[in-house]
Amino acid sequence: MKKFKDLNKKHRTIILTILGVILVALILLLLVKYGGLTLTPTTAPAASPTNSQSVLNDNREGIDGSYQSMTREEILADLQERQQVVTDQVSTNVTFSSGKAGSTGEWVMENPKSNSVIQQAEIYYGDDNVLIAKTEPVYPGQYIQAVELLESLKSGEYEALVYINYYNLNEKTFAGKAGYKVHLTVG
């Protein structure tokens, strides 16, 4: 302390100034770290998108006229062209000589050559719609004439529902279905 007092006034001022600067820097550092103070560089304000260019670059331009979406008629024509039409040919009677599960019955379903779908039929019986038969896939130009009984049935005459499921030829994805009421004879 005595040494510091011994220094001349000029040197003391310099040392005090340096110490002051260091103190201010330390305080700032502490504020940044713990006090939430953020230091942002001073930059020029960003230009808004509308005035980013002072001169229009018109190398590209829009299409003349007003936009016309497809008309109702054009949409309809497109949908009609894509519509998949099928023809079903099924016998109105399914006959099983025995009502024992596993027995083979007579029923004819034909998938005409003109169709572009695979057909697979399911036959349901009763109020609970019990599945009693399911055919193999029938491709266009093929037919089946026999079905296997999946559930035992008592002898008698019944009404049954046949659902023909359609599958796309390539993707084998489900495309729709239609139903037919048929007569069921169990011997």
Partner 1 sequence: MKRKPLKKTLLSLALATVLIIASSGVAFAADTTSTGEGSIEATVPVNGTINALTISVTHPASVEYVINPALGIGSAFVAPDITITNNTQVPISVTVKSLASAAGGTLQFADVANDAYDWANLGLDDTKAYIAMGVKIADDPAGWEAGYNTETRYAVDTGDSMFGSLATGNTGHLTMVANHGYAFDQKYTAVHNLVLMFDLV
Burial code (b: 16+ CB inside 10 Å, e: under 16) for 91-108 equals beebebeebeeebebebe
CA atoms of 27 and 105, how far apart (whole Å): 98
Nearer to partner 1, 26 or 78 (CB): 78
CB of 174 vs partner 1, minimal distance in Å: 9
Interface residues with partner 1 (CB under 8 A) are 69-70, 72, 75-76, 79-80, 82-93, 108, 110, 117, 161, 163, 166, 175-181, 183
Backbone angles phi, psi at 144, to 5 degrees: -125, 155
Q: Supply the minimum distance, in Å, between the C-beta of residue 100 and partner 1.
A: 22
The answer to whether residues 182 and 160 touch, using CB atoms and an 8 Å cutoff, is yes
Token digits of residue 116: 């572009």
| 151 or 180: CB nearest partner 1 | 180
Residue 169 CB, nearest approach to partner 1 (Å): 11
d(CA 144, CA 178): 18
The distance of closest approach from Cβ of residue 98 to partner 1 in the complex, given in angstroms and rounded to an integer, is 19
CB of 182 to partner 1, least distance (A): 8
> Are 96 and 103 within 8 A, CB to CB?
yes
Closer residue to partner 1, CB minimum distance, 13 or 116: 116
In the complex with partner 1, the residue whose CB is nearer, 88 or 151, is 88
Tokens matching residue 42: 């001073």
Of the pair 22, 178, the CB lying nearest partner 1 is at: 178
